[in-house]
A and B are shown apart, each in its own frame.
Chain A
Amino acid sequence: MKRTHIIAIVIIAAAIGIIIATAGDASTYVDFDQAYQMAESGNKDQIHVVGQLKKDSEGHVAGLQNSPDKLSFSFVLVDDKNKEQNVIYNEPMPPDFLKSEKVVVVGGYQHDQFIAKKILLKCPSKYQENKLVKN
């Protein structure tokens, strides 16, 4: 076998290795029930859950709680299957949090609490202006 062939095989092997590693490290979009089952079965992977903030009948965000020193907060997220879950986040509340349309939490269950390590916010018209601002 020529040395070039050996190199080719090594490259292919490395590429396959990368693909497998990526597939293994890729996270998934799930709902809270699936996330809970994953945690129950000992799976500590961090997952993405997409949801909306819980609102009361008047449209105010409900279930929000700040820690006394404002350095962390918790909130109730409703996933696509309408399951409500208390989510804890160890950072100050992002100031545009209450206005967000959609919230993606990245994290996992610890006991019965969902602990978010990262929060992604989808805010209406964040980068796109489609209404006139009246001066």
Chain B
Amino acid sequence: MKRVFTSPFLWLGVAFFVVLAAWPMATNDPTLREDLFLILMFITMALSLNIILGFTGYVNFGHIVFFGLGGYMGIYVMSILHWGLFTAMLVGGISASVLAFILGAIILRLRGAYFALATIGINEMMLAFVSNFKPFGSGIGLSLDFGVYKAYGGAGKALWLSFILLAIAALLAFIITFVLKKSKFGLGLMVIREDEDAAMVMGIPTPTFKNLAYTLSAFLPGVVGVLYFFKNGNIEPGEAFNLEMSIEVLVMIMLGGFGTVSGPVIGAALYEEIRSWLIVNPLLQSMHLVVAGILLLAIILFVPIGVVGWIRQRLPLVRRYLE
């Protein structure tokens, strides 16, 4: 473990997140903060999805379920039971993990494309269920009373608070991913990815390992869901369980590099930048989805290992600094 915490890559990464969080605070720029909020959110989502997708090799289209459920639970306890933000974040994270644990025990028996299909099914089932679930406000969803923000020094301060908390969550996701990759548990997951039957023969308790990875990957999306919808002030089913967003997070991981630590970070930042550039570009505005699709197709066909994978392959010297 000692070698893990003296790795130059880990501290470079920590510095990166600190700079990212401090930058809008130093310049006191709310627009920059909103941009970075989205980027940090996608970084956390991509890093956590990478645990089950990149390390364990299970294609999960339902990652957004944990974001949506966490968000709903958090907003529910804040608006109906009047609990605080920090408790709500814990509630969101834990309920997402509990759901993942139960689901994992059931669906992780499926392999390959069948697992991927089941996760699509679960996403749509949750969307349809929450749209009908009365305590969660059915199709209209839940909204926070404006007075909630008073406890955090007004709406303006609350926005800064949620940004800082999100930056901490993103940093946590980064550290967890790095430690996981260097741990024996992480190694076990990667063996499962390469050959699950061989992993079983080698004595890895695959069902437990897979389910732990799935449960772990669900926690931070739940927390991020609470922060995102706390910032928005309301939550509704279509936004909480948006299958498109699940797939976007997958694309970010592919773009950055599947199964690496920095890949999801770089992929998420790059994807957000490219997308916002396309949306504001007058020439490509109406065609931004087409350009993004062509870009994705080109990456998959020609650079399937992603940006980080490609750099590591070409420049062996930087491997120590780029996990």
To the question of whether A and B form a pair in one complex, the answer is no
Binding site for B on A (CB under 8 A): none
